[in-house]
Structure 1
Amino acid sequence: MKATIITIGDEILIGQIVDTNSGFIAKSLDKIGVEISEMISISDDKNHILDTFKKLQNKVDLVIVTGGLGPTKDDVTKKTFCDYFEDELVVDQKVLAHVTELIEGFYKRPITQMNIDQALVPSKCTVLHNAVGTAPGMWVKKEGTVFISLPGVPYEMKYLVEKEIIPKVVREYSRPYIIHKTILTYGQGESMVAERIEAWEDNLPEFLKLAYLPSPGRVRLRISARGTDKEILEKAIEEQVVLLDAIIHDIIVGFEEDETIEVVLGEMLKKQQKTISTAESCTGGTIASLLASVPGASNYFKGSIVSYATAVKTDVLGISEELINEFTVVSAEVASAMALSVKRLMKTDYAIATTGNAGPQKGASNAEIGTVFIALATPSEVIVEEFNFGQPREKVIDRAVYKSLEMLQKEIFKNVL
Structure 2
Amino acid sequence: MKATIITIGDEILIGQIVDTNSAFIAKSLDKIGVEVHEIISISDNKLHILDTFSKLQNKVDLVIITGGLGPTKDDITKKTFCDYFEDELVVDVKVLHHVTQLIEGFYKRPITQINKDQSLVPSKCTILHNQVGTAPGMWMKKENTVFISLPGVPFEMKCLVENEIIPKVVQEYQRPYIIHKTILTYGQGESLVAERIEKWENNLPEFIKLAYLPNPGRVRLRLSARGTNKELLEKSIEENIVSLTKIIGDIIVGFDDDESLETVVGRLLKQQNKTISTAESCTGGKIAQVFTSISGASKYFKGSVVSYATETKINVLGVSENLIKEHSIVSAEVAKQMAINVKNLMKTDYAIATTGNAGPTKGDLNMELGAVFIALATPNNVIVEEFNFGQPREKVIDRTVIKSMEMLRKEILKNVL
**Larger CA deviation: 373-382 vs 199-208:** 373-382
1:208 aligns with 208
**Larger CA deviation: 299-308 vs 358-367:** 299-308
How far, CA to CA, are the matches of 1:298 and 1:114 in structure 2? 47
TM-score (ref. length: structure 2)? 0.87
How far, CA to CA, are the matches of 2:270 and 2:137 in structure 1? 36
Paired amino acid for 2:309: A
1:312 aligns with 312
1:70, distance to aligned residue in structure 2 (A) = 2.5
1:110, distance to aligned residue in structure 2 (A) = 3.8
What stretches of structure 2 of length at least 5 have no aligned partner? none
1:193 aligns with 193
2:221 aligns with 221
How far, CA to CA, are the matches of 1:242 and 1:264 in structure 2? 19
* Cα gap change, 1:56 to 1:182, in 2 (>3 Å): same
How far, CA to CA, are the matches of 2:195 and 2:115 in structure 1? 60
Give 3-state SS (helix, strand or coil) of 2:44's partner. Answer: coil
What stretches of structure 1 of length at least 5 have no aligned partner? none
2:30 aligns with 30
Question: Taking every aligned residue pair, what percent have the same amino acid on both sides?
Answer: 79
**Larger CA deviation: 154-163 vs 33-42:** 154-163
How far, CA to CA, are the matches of 2:10 and 2:369 in structure 1? 39
1:345, distance to aligned residue in structure 2 (A) = 4.8
How far, CA to CA, are the matches of 1:270 and 1:159 in structure 2? 34
1:2, distance to aligned residue in structure 2 (A) = 0.9
1:246 aligns with 246
**Larger CA deviation: 309-318 vs 72-81:** 309-318
Matches within 5 A, 1:346-361: 346=346, 350-361=350-361
Give 3-state SS (helix, strand or coil) of 1:385's partner. Answer: strand
* Cα gap change, 1:170 to 1:347, in 2 (>3 Å): farther
Say whether the 8 Å CA contact 1:254–1:413 is kept in structure 2. no
Give 3-state SS (helix, strand or coil) of 1:121's partner. Answer: strand
2:119 aligns with 119
How far, CA to CA, are the matches of 1:33 and 1:355 in structure 2? 48
1:379, distance to aligned residue in structure 2 (A) = 5.2
Give 3-state SS (helix, strand or coil) of 2:326's partner. Answer: helix
**Larger CA deviation: 147-156 vs 407-416:** 407-416
Say whether the 8 Å CA contact 2:254–2:264 is kept in structure 1. no
- Residues 1:166 and 2:192 are matched in the alignment: no
Give 3-state SS (helix, strand or coil) of 2:390's partner. Answer: coil
How far, CA to CA, are the matches of 1:168 and 1:180 in structure 2? 23
1:371 aligns with 371
1:325-367 deviation digits (Å, cap 9, x = unpaired): 3333323333344444445555555544332211111245322
* Cα gap change, 1:66 to 1:313, in 2 (>3 Å): farther
For the aligned residue pairs, the C-alpha RMSD in angstroms reads: 3.0
1:204, distance to aligned residue in structure 2 (A) = 1.3
2:328 aligns with 328
Give 3-state SS (helix, strand or coil) of 1:180's partner. Answer: strand
1:37, distance to aligned residue in structure 2 (A) = 0.9
How far, CA to CA, are the matches of 2:141 and 2:327 in structure 1? 69
How far, CA to CA, are the matches of 1:380 and 1:97 in structure 2? 68
Say whether the 8 Å CA contact 2:137–2:160 is kept in structure 1. yes
- Residues 1:256 and 2:256 are matched in the alignment: yes
**Larger CA deviation: 252-261 vs 47-56:** 252-261
**Larger CA deviation: 106-115 vs 25-34:** 106-115
Paired amino acid for 2:40: I
1:416, distance to aligned residue in structure 2 (A) = 6.7
How far, CA to CA, are the matches of 2:347 and 2:93 in structure 1? 55
1:94-123 deviation digits (Å, cap 9, x = unpaired): 444444444444444444333333333333
How far, CA to CA, are the matches of 1:282 and 1:158 in structure 2? 39
Give 3-state SS (helix, strand or coil) of 1:191's partner. Answer: helix
How far, CA to CA, are the matches of 2:100 and 2:301 in structure 1? 40
- Answer with 1 or 2: which has the greater Rg: 2
1:65 aligns with 65
Paired amino acid for 1:119: S
* Cα gap change, 1:134 to 1:378, in 2 (>3 Å): farther
How far, CA to CA, are the matches of 1:104 and 1:305 in structure 2? 50
How far, CA to CA, are the matches of 2:2 and 2:320 in structure 1? 62
TM-score (ref. length: structure 1)? 0.87
How far, CA to CA, are the matches of 1:170 and 1:316 in structure 2? 59
* Cα gap change, 1:203 to 1:364, in 2 (>3 Å): same
* Cα gap change, 1:192 to 1:37, in 2 (>3 Å): same
* Cα gap change, 1:126 to 1:250, in 2 (>3 Å): same
1:13, distance to aligned residue in structure 2 (A) = 1.3
Say whether the 8 Å CA contact 2:253–2:264 is kept in structure 1. no
Matches within 5 A, 1:263-282: 276-282=276-282
**Larger CA deviation: 345-354 vs 225-234:** 345-354
1:215, distance to aligned residue in structure 2 (A) = 1.7
1:230 aligns with 230
How far, CA to CA, are the matches of 2:116 and 2:239 in structure 1? 57
How far, CA to CA, are the matches of 1:416 and 1:120 in structure 2? 63
Paired amino acid for 2:89: L
Say whether the 8 Å CA contact 1:10–1:42 is kept in structure 2. yes
**Larger CA deviation: 383-392 vs 35-44:** 383-392
* Cα gap change, 1:174 to 1:202, in 2 (>3 Å): same
- Residues 1:75 and 2:92 are matched in the alignment: no
Paired amino acid for 1:164: E
1:12, distance to aligned residue in structure 2 (A) = 1.5
- What is the aligned length? 417
* Cα gap change, 1:278 to 1:114, in 2 (>3 Å): farther
**Larger CA deviation: 332-341 vs 5-14:** 332-341
* Cα gap change, 1:13 to 1:411, in 2 (>3 Å): farther
How far, CA to CA, are the matches of 2:117 and 2:139 in structure 1? 18
